[in-house]
Amino acid sequence: MNEKSRRPFDDPLAEHLAWLMDSSIGIGPISIGLDGLIGLIPGLGDVVTSIVSALIVLRALQRGVHHAAIIRMLLNIGIDTLLGSVPIVGDAFDFAYKSNIRNLEIYKQSLSGDRKPLKDWGFIILVVLILLAMIILPILGLIYLGHAITSWLR
């Protein structure tokens, strides 16, 4: 990577948001953030925290972070939002999965030139394959069930 594409990380707002949302409250040896607490509000909580998380991604996009890293960051938010919206288990997940800190790390590594886009593309492909399997396997199961029922009725 050439020197021109290497830039020092200087985004105190993104750093503060990641800290506030994921680790601003210390409880003994662990830390939690507002993401988990706000996520306890049914329905609205996960939407609000996703909007705040999207601000970090928006700032990374404005500073020219490569597209694979941006998509990876959005997937982190999507995972946090989707799994965090599951009652009870999702609330525990919200406290443990620190998507904002993960995204800040991706943001920093991308600007410094230490992050390889291939790593992000690999993760994106993996997520797409899992989603395709989640769509295709039930359809194949229904087709198989339909064939089994029609052969049983004959």
Helices (runs of H) and strands (runs of E) counted in the chain = 7, 2
User: Residue-wise over 47-67: b if at least 16 C-beta within 10 A, else e?
Assistant: eebbebbeebbebbbeeebbe
User: Using CA atoms, how far apart are residues 69 and 124, in angstroms rounded to an integer?
Assistant: 9
What is the pLDDT at residue 4? Answer: 47
User: Which string of DSSP letters, residue by residue, matches 1-50?
Assistant: --GGG------HHHHHHHHHHHTSEEETTEEE-HHHHHTTSTTHHHHHHH
Which neighbouring-strand residues pair with 26?
31
Mean pLDDT, consecutive 10-residue stretches, the chain (154 aa), reads 62 94 91 90 87 95 92 93 87 90 95 86 91 94 92 88
What is the pLDDT at residue 5? Answer: 59
- The two tokens of residue 35 are 């993401």
